[in-house]
Structure 1
Amino acid sequence: MVIGGGPAGSTAATALAQEDLHVRLLEGAHFPRYHVGESLTPSCRTVLEHTGIAETLDKHGFTIKHGGVFRWNSDSWVFDWGAQIGSRSWQVDRAEFDQLLLQHARDNDVLVTEGVTAKDVAIDADGRPVAVTCLADGGEPYTIDDFDFLVDATGRSGLLSARHLHNRQPNPALRNIGIWGYWEDAALLPDTPKGGINIVSSPEGWYWVIPLAGGRTSIGFVTRKDYFGERRPSYQTHEEMYRALVEESLPVHGLVVGARMTGPVRVETDYSYVAESFGGPGYMIIGDAAAFLDPLLSTGVHLALFSALTAAACIASSARGEVTQEEALRFFEFAYRRSYTRLLALVSIMYERYLGKDGFFRTSDRLLGEAQDRDDSLSFVEIIAGLSDLREAGDASTRVLTERLTEEALKVQERSVSGHDGPGKPDFSSVLDNPLIDAESADFRLVTSPRLGLERTARG
């Protein structure tokens, strides 16, 4: 049973059903429903090609995203996925995107029920979920107990991690707030690759500019919670504050000259957190239910889909008897936590603005174990594309060792303590207090052919 029908839940359910498992999915909302997180990475295309919906998304008319432009402090650089890594992704309307993914799950024989909220989970003496208490719209509570394995994809509400196990740890450095709205006929920065995102820093945060289909553009500002709180009383409405913030950035304001703002201004907190564990006997926690990082590098849907595919591979292999459930859980924990840790290190480095783009690129090289005398951004591009996570999950010889990631995390944290910190002070305690599992997990790799699952390596 999968709880949650967002990108993580629908993708995990589809992948499991395609491996001939009987899958039920519960979703509390009725789709389509609004959601932020519109800019996707090439890794999302790779996962969705595997589940068979990428062509549908291409035909739907979403903006094809080929890269973007960073203007970060005094630096400016272009990343072009087509030219650098031969890939692309989408800028999506999440209401439409999520509905397409959920319908694709139905088309693959997943039993999808909308308007049913999972309220509680019964856990047996061994720590295994054995029943879920559900509440349908306007109905009476009822119980579902005919499942062998539970996948928690309930997003930030975190049915298991936040509401039952209470094992999610916040990162106090990344207590940010986003405020955003939509425009018609806005422009993009010069040299932006076709359909690309613009990311523009300011002294107190940063802006996103995302071109959507139909001439619409999503423009948002992300800043610290305390700064937002200081500014907000000066304005009568969120819209008034938002317009002032857009005007304060010369590059961003220049993009909306002659454009028209449409729809409401929205505000949302995006506090960073990570669960102490991503699974246990009879369950896995995927997507935002397990961890949320930061919107800076558009990692939300990447982490959702990467964890969904990895979880499905682990569950399918365990169900077929190819690996034990303990081995499957260990691999999932390792692969997902490694991805989160590396992205956390890179995001934290970028908030330390004094390093500049060359410092970001060198850090990216170290995070991938690449030669550090290269004068290019390829490692940075591969990480923000999410492709390094997929590659390492499928190739044991390219695994980044736990010690290397931990070393980089400590370096970032030490720089913060020494007083060189930027707007956010990185805190890796939630990662460093729960070291990645490495040695045993290197006995396996993720494979998608001839079937999705785990394969023992020569070492294993």
Structure 2
Amino acid sequence: MSKNFEVLIIGGGPAGSTAGALLARAGMSVKLLERAVFPRYHIGESITTSCRGILDYLGALEKVNSRGYTSKSGALLRWGKEDDWVIDWTQQFGPDMRSWQVERADFDHVLLEHARESGVDVVEGARVKKVIFENGRAIGVEWVDPESGETLTTHADFVLDASGRAGLIGAQHFNNRQPHEIFRNVAIWGYWDGGELLPNSPTGGINVVSSDDGWYWVIPLSGERFSVGFVTHKTNFVERRKEFTSTEDMLHAMIAESPTVKGLMAQGTFQGQARVEQDFSYVADRFCGDGYFLMGDAACFLDPLLSTGVHLAMYSGLLAAASISALSHGDVTQTEAQSFYETLFRNAYVRLFTLVSGFYQKHAGKDRYFALADSLARDEGVSENTPDVAFGEIISGGTDMREAADASGKASESIDKVITDQQQRKSPVQELLDAAAEAQERARLAADPHERLTPDTAIDTNDLYDADNGFYLVMEPRLGIGKAALDA
């Protein structure tokens, strides 16, 4: 007989809404506390195809389809000194492999309302002060009721932290969040009415354009609206900011410094405010523990180069809901559920982090990036036709979904083998990662000779947790965790 756990979720973004809707639909009692009142602005517009599959499973796909978002089928990269190269998911994997370019304020609102309609008790405008622990286990939260202003205490069997970069458990309670020094970046961006994409861009695809000291994004939103931004290391941003009287002047100057991006926006009209946000990458030492799960940005944040933030959020929400569902049915022990969650979520983050790290060596060439992606995907059926397919699968989120459902455990085992091989010999993949780290260090030293990369902040390609644990994601006939060892 299953147990109907009480679950408390902090944060109503894609991670919190995904987990909340799934658990409520599974019969759990779920309360979600969101600090903002939706819709609220949030950076990020480009969505991976994996999110489409999760939305379908959530029962929210038609709601998202009805919003009129730009249909996205991939990306065009003008990176380093090479010719443009295109990743078109519909050509690689079929016509249904597509997603959207969304306005996150609207997209997140749709997901939160779907969670509410699924049975989640959503409280907006609620400020969570702290997570309560007893004997090492999370048992509830203290929060401020938006109507009465009272500080309340709510207990639960599980606390799911989707508080984003605030990180109530990882950053504030345990203080176990580790920054990645090579990605201490800053983004500056704004919106244009009118503009165009580069020739040969896949339908609705993002354009990513490198420069000597950073990279640009050009994202086609609904209508004729474009999101355009520039990402650079914080030391470069701070120095360049001194040249301008406003962030708007700086944004226009950054756009003008790229002949490519300047040309794409030549017929566009800038719409108001320029925005700035730190894109400092980090990862928590642990993604879960007794009574709690860290989801999305509360657990880790990655440079937005490959547009994987919403994927990691929704994927972690799916995994957390599967873990609690499996526990409710007695399918796994608490330790097994934690191993399942930590393995799959951390492997997803490390794989993407490793790929992005390689990209920052801009002159390595696409063949080296494809080789890196192929080694990280490690599935004979993925890249047997063309070398770009593994890359396309990883940036679509498909590799993570495939690994999660791999009952044999071979996907996790093969990734572990890649890391082991890299430890034993310096492969072309490892050389690429080493070169990326060295290039970033040289850039930092040029901007600030006193800021040096220490050994403990270098790229770690052996950051995988218990890769061969035998657990896998089950979605039918109900959400849960399978045990390969017991099912064999």
Normalising by structure 1, what TM-score? 0.94
Q: Distance in 2 between matches of 1:214 and 1:407?
A: 48
> Alignment partner of 2:169: what SS?
coil
Q: Is the 8 A contact 2:378 2:411 kept in 1?
A: no
> Alignment partner of 1:40: what SS?
coil
Alignment of 1:202 with 2:216, yes or no, is no
2:9 to 2, 22, 35: 2
Count of residues in Structure 1 that have an aligned counterpart in Structure 2: 457
Q: CA deviation at 1:84?
A: 0.6
Q: Is the 8 A contact 1:132 1:145 kept in 2?
A: yes
Aligned to 2:255: 246
Q: Is the 8 A contact 1:15 1:309 kept in 2?
A: yes
Q: Distance in 1 between matches of 2:461 and 2:357?
A: 15
Which segment is superposed worse, 395-404 or 103-112? 395-404
User: Aligned letter for 1:379?
Assistant: A
Q: Distance in 2 between matches of 1:134 and 1:433?
A: 38
Q: CA deviation at 1:141?
A: 4.0
1:234-286 CA distances to partner (integer Å, 9 max, x unpaired)? 11000101101101111111111121010200000010000000010011000
User: Aligned letter for 2:412?
Assistant: V
Aligned to 2:177: 168
Within a 5 Å distance, the mapping from 1:186-265 to structure 2 comes to 186-265=195-274
Alignment of 1:82 with 2:90, yes or no, is yes
1:152-183 CA distances to partner (integer Å, 9 max, x unpaired)? 00000001000111010000000000000000
Aligned to 2:407: 396
Q: Is the 8 A contact 1:172 1:427 kept in 2?
A: no
Q: Distance in 1 between matches of 2:440 and 2:255?
A: 28
Q: Is the 8 A contact 1:276 1:430 kept in 2?
A: no
Q: CA deviation at 1:145?
A: 3.2
1:170-198 CA distances to partner (integer Å, 9 max, x unpaired)? 00000000000000011111011111110
User: Aligned letter for 1:198?
Assistant: N
1:349-373 CA distances to partner (integer Å, 9 max, x unpaired)? 0001121100000111111124688
Alignment of 1:453 with 2:464, yes or no, is no
> Alignment partner of 2:363: what SS?
helix
Q: Distance in 2 between matches of 1:365 and 1:67?
A: 18
2:392 to 378, 381, 384: 381
Q: Distance in 1 between matches of 2:232 and 2:440?
A: 19
Q: Is the 8 A contact 2:471 2:481 kept in 1?
A: yes
Q: CA deviation at 1:432?
A: 6.2
Q: Is the 8 A contact 1:161 1:290 kept in 2?
A: yes
1:33 to 34, 40, 56: 40
Q: CA deviation at 1:68?
A: 1.7
Q: For residues 222 and 341 of structure 1, do their structure 2 counterparts lie closer, same or farther at Cα, with a shift above 3 Å needed?
A: same
1:316 to 311, 320, 325: 325
Alignment of 1:438 with 2:467, yes or no, is yes
Aligned to 1:153: 162
Q: For residues 418 and 240 of structure 1, do their structure 2 counterparts lie closer, same or farther at Cα, with a shift above 3 Å needed?
A: closer
> Alignment partner of 2:466: what SS?
coil
Aligned to 2:125: 115
Q: Is the 8 A contact 1:415 1:421 kept in 2?
A: no
User: Aligned letter for 2:130?
Assistant: D
Q: Distance in 2 between matches of 1:164 and 1:175?
A: 23
> Alignment partner of 1:450: what SS?
coil
> Alignment partner of 2:131: what SS?
strand
Q: Distance in 1 between matches of 2:400 and 2:473?
A: 11
Q: Distance in 2 between matches of 1:430 and 1:364?
A: 16
Q: Is the 8 A contact 1:247 1:253 kept in 2?
A: yes
Q: Distance in 2 between matches of 1:436 and 1:429?
A: 18
Within a 5 Å distance, the mapping from 1:334-345 to structure 2 comes to 334-345=343-354
Q: For residues 384 and 432 of structure 1, do their structure 2 counterparts lie closer, same or farther at Cα, with a shift above 3 Å needed?
A: closer
Which segment is superposed worse, 320-329 or 384-393? 320-329
Please list every run of 5 or more consecutive structure 1 residues that lacks an aligned counterpart in the other structure: none
Q: Is the 8 A contact 1:118 1:133 kept in 2?
A: yes
Q: Is the 8 A contact 1:121 1:164 kept in 2?
A: yes
Q: For residues 195 and 433 of structure 1, do their structure 2 counterparts lie closer, same or farther at Cα, with a shift above 3 Å needed?
A: closer
Alignment of 1:287 with 2:296, yes or no, is yes
1:203-261 CA distances to partner (integer Å, 9 max, x unpaired)? 11000000111211000000010011111111100010110110111111111112101
Q: Is the 8 A contact 2:186 2:279 kept in 1?
A: yes
> Alignment partner of 2:286: what SS?
coil
1:13 to 11, 20, 37: 20
Q: For residues 404 and 422 of structure 1, do their structure 2 counterparts lie closer, same or farther at Cα, with a shift above 3 Å needed?
A: farther
Aligned to 2:111: 101
Q: Is the 8 A contact 2:182 2:437 kept in 1?
A: no
Alignment of 1:71 with 2:78, yes or no, is yes
